Structure 1
Amino acid sequence: MAMAENGGRLGGLGGSLKVANVQALAAAAADDPNTLTRDRILNRYIRPEMDVDGLVRVDDDDDDDDDDDDHIPIVDLQRLVDPNSSQEEAAKLKFACEDWGFFQLVNHGVSEELMERVKADVEGFFRLPLEAKEECGQLPGGLEGYGQAFVVSEEQKLDWGDMLFLLSQPQSYKTLKFWPTSPTTFRQTLDRYSLEVRRVAHCVLGFMSRNLGLEPDRLVHGFMEFQSFRINYYPPCPYTKNVLGIAPHSDAVGLTILLHVNSVQGLQISRNGRWIPVKPLPSAFVANIGDILEMLTNGKYKSIEHRVIVDPSKERLSIAAFHTASMGSVVGPLPELVDGSKEYYRSLSMEDFMKLVVSSKLDGKGLMDRLKLNP
């Protein structure tokens, strides 16, 4: 696949409008607190609905902290592949996919040494001067590189965060122009990490397939062979109760595997009218169902709305590995999973799906609502 003139292997699908660098805004505010004021620069980030969204926030010191319904399920990959415990662990995975859409994945087999290296390289990249980071900047009309996503108008509210978006698998999709050369180990480390996370994703998808009564490789081959990374940086913000790192949304992919780079929390999922904070276990991945998997399973597995809040004094970093359908494939309910003749989602090409995603701002599950067939 040739690289498009407008910036990357996914050129032609659209891109995001260029906006101010949030890390730079936060750094300026640290030097001069008057830089950030509600009526000046910060106005596009202030979200009035944060005070009136009607949802109960579950804080770290909540009295109901021990309630099982406040903790996402835990799946042990080692037990999942062990014949002696596989059936019991597969039942846990089935429950997590059907009832939560999120789970923590432990004993996944990715070495601690590799995870620490990729964390260090990501932190090293975001410590670079802005000019150095922008050497990997997005090009007009493109998705890949350093910048923003889902900014489609000059009026919409913005997220308090920056990102580096990279295509990683298949190898032919990679565009090295957008892959940092500093730290010097960044490319090699992320390449290794990419292969390991893909192995984990394909293993989990295999067990999801079995739980759905499909052939073990049904969700992988032809559907989940495409991998990309969204590497997130959320600077601290003094107006933490009025801004969002990422607005509420569901992931427009198949399966997401997230690694928290540091200990600062911020990810929250919407469940039963409440925002539940995700408290990652040491060395664990946080995995979640995406929109494509909801479509393929005809709604048996559902993508879950989630958001990121920011910390008033500490930066937060994360690495999201997205696994989704390959370009050229058609996404929609799998025939094996259609109940009689009733399909809940329309089928469309992956290219058309991506154009819808890129042209839309983050808006809960609004995109999925548009793809539903009339009952």
Structure 2
Amino acid sequence: MGDNSILAPSVQELAKQAISKVPDQYLQPNQDPIFLSDRITLSQLPIINFDKLLSEDEIELENLDKACKEWGFFQLMNHGVNSSLVESVKSGVEEFFNLPMEEKKKFWQTPEEMQGFRQIYVALEEEKLRWGDMFFVKTFPLHRRHPYLIPSIPQPFRDDFENYCLEMKKLCISIMEFMSKALKIKPNVFFDLFEDGSQAMRMGYYPPCPQPEQVIGLNPDSDVTAITILLEVNQVQGLQIKKDGMWIPINPLSNAFLVNVGDALEVLTNGIYKSIEHRVTVNSMKERISLAAFHNP
């Protein structure tokens, strides 16, 4: 990152101080409005039933194809990942962010290494900090892992996290196989690409903010990876996607994953499937916690 990189402070710790005004380095007053009309919130993100895909339901395969072409996002229900594991992972993520600061410092990022806890802030005058803390770690292939991060995660969350990573990899490959069927391309093309592909996990914590309309949890962007599988840990709204020039809030479904197309998949499909700009907003009442699994060939 170079000598101009510094570590951003923990927003969670800042929020614990019950501040009434956000520090200047977090203020982003020129962004698109956070609060949108009720008319826009009525838009319904596509919902895909994974059971129907497994049953070779042609209509559901068409629904998947349409969702990837028109939205670049969909909610995946009946995904087959053990519900007990998902609930354990949710609890583990929440407990991780509630660890004492001294414990979380074991996972500290450094200017040379993007993996770990907190954010890296490039100290350029025009840069602004985001209202959120993160733990980012590379999980597959194994040789890309940082030697101390995952082994330092407290049990039982460590084992649950490992199992969850494996389940996300399997689910990613299955989703990609159905996408290949929808696109009518050669069988096993995506399987061969993703079987030994890369995976990274990002836990996100976005605390309540006294001036939510003046900050951003994640700046508007699209994912550079092929496919992202997002778990909304505490079911708090915050993710918004840009469609037809408007920001649309996503209401997460219980027991579903949110799946989105990334830049790499848009390239792989020659632009047929769309990588869509999205952002994370925050609110004044409740923290939002998420766990994202990023996959690439």
Amino acid at match of 1:19: A
SS in 2 for 1:302: coil
2:185 to 207, 210, 214: 214
Does the aligned pair in 1 maintain the 2:130–2:218 contact within 8 Å? yes
Does the aligned pair in 2 maintain the 1:245–1:310 contact within 8 Å? yes
Does the aligned pair in 1 maintain the 2:139–2:145 contact within 8 Å? yes
1:37 paired to 2:10? no
Aligned ranges 1:304-319 → 2 under 5 Å = 304-319=276-291
Aligned ranges 1:200-239 → 2 under 5 Å = 200-223=171-194, 225-239=197-211
1:186 to 132, 157, 164: 157
Greater radius of gyration (CA): 1
2:244 to 266, 269, 272: 272
1:71 paired to 2:44? yes
Instruction: Render the CA deviation track for 1:153-175: whole Å, top value 9, x for unaligned.
Output: 33201110010001112233222
Instruction: Render the CA deviation track for 1:1-60: whole Å, top value 9, x for unaligned.
Output: xxxxxxxxxxx99996311111111112x2xx3xx535xxx111111113xx3x68545x
The CA distance in 2 between the partners of 1:256 and 1:126, in whole Å, is 22
- Report the structure, 1 or 2, having the larger strand content: 2
Amino acid at match of 1:306: H
2:146 to 142, 165, 175: 175
The CA distance in 2 between the partners of 1:239 and 1:279, in whole Å, is 22
Does the aligned pair in 1 maintain the 2:34–2:213 contact within 8 Å? no
Q: Structure 1 57/311 Cα, relative in aligned 2: closer, same or farther at 3 Å? A: closer
SS in 1 for 2:30: helix
Aligned ranges 1:1-375 → 2 under 5 Å = 17-28=6-17, 30=18, 33=19, 37-38=21-22, 42-50=23-31, 53=32, 57-59=35-37, 62-63=38-39, 65-66=41-42, 70-83=43-56, 85=57, 87-149=58-120, 151-155=121-125, 156-179=127-150, 181-223=152-194, 225-325=197-297
Does the aligned pair in 1 maintain the 2:108–2:116 contact within 8 Å? yes
Aligned residues: 295
Q: Structure 1 154/277 Cα, relative in aligned 2: closer, same or farther at 3 Å? A: same
SS in 1 for 2:137: strand
Amino acid at match of 1:20: P
The worse-fitting range, judged by mean Cα deviation, of 264-273 and 132-141 is 132-141
Q: Structure 1 246/16 Cα, relative in aligned 2: closer, same or farther at 3 Å? A: farther
Q: Structure 1 169/163 Cα, relative in aligned 2: closer, same or farther at 3 Å? A: same
Segments of 5+ residues of structure 1 without an aligned counterpart are 1-11, 326-375
The worse-fitting range, judged by mean Cα deviation, of 128-137 and 97-106 is 128-137
Instruction: Render the CA deviation track for 1:223-261: whole Å, top value 9, x for unaligned.
Output: 571111011010110100111110100011000000000
Q: Which has the higher contact order (CA 8 A, sep 6+)?
A: 2
Does the aligned pair in 2 maintain the 1:57–1:275 contact within 8 Å? no
Q: After the TM superposition, list the runs of 4 or more consecutive aligned residues in structure 1 that deviate by more than 3 angstroms.
A: 12-17, 55-59, 63-66, 180-183
Does the aligned pair in 1 maintain the 2:4–2:123 contact within 8 Å? no
The CA distance in 1 between the partners of 2:277 and 2:93, in whole Å, is 26
The CA distance in 2 between the partners of 1:271 and 1:57, in whole Å, is 16
Q: Give how far 1:139 is off.
A: 2.4
SS in 2 for 1:196: helix
Instruction: Render the CA deviation track for 1:144-200: whole Å, top value 9, x for unaligned.
Output: 111215x33332011100100011122332224112645321210011111111111
SS in 1 for 2:242: strand
The CA distance in 1 between the partners of 2:204 and 2:130, in whole Å, is 11
SS in 1 for 2:114: coil
The worse-fitting range, judged by mean Cα deviation, of 183-192 and 117-126 is 183-192
Does the aligned pair in 2 maintain the 1:137–1:178 contact within 8 Å? no
Does the aligned pair in 2 maintain the 1:16–1:142 contact within 8 Å? no
What's the TM-score, normalizing by structure 2? 0.93
The CA distance in 1 between the partners of 2:191 and 2:276, in whole Å, is 21
The CA distance in 1 between the partners of 2:283 and 2:88, in whole Å, is 24
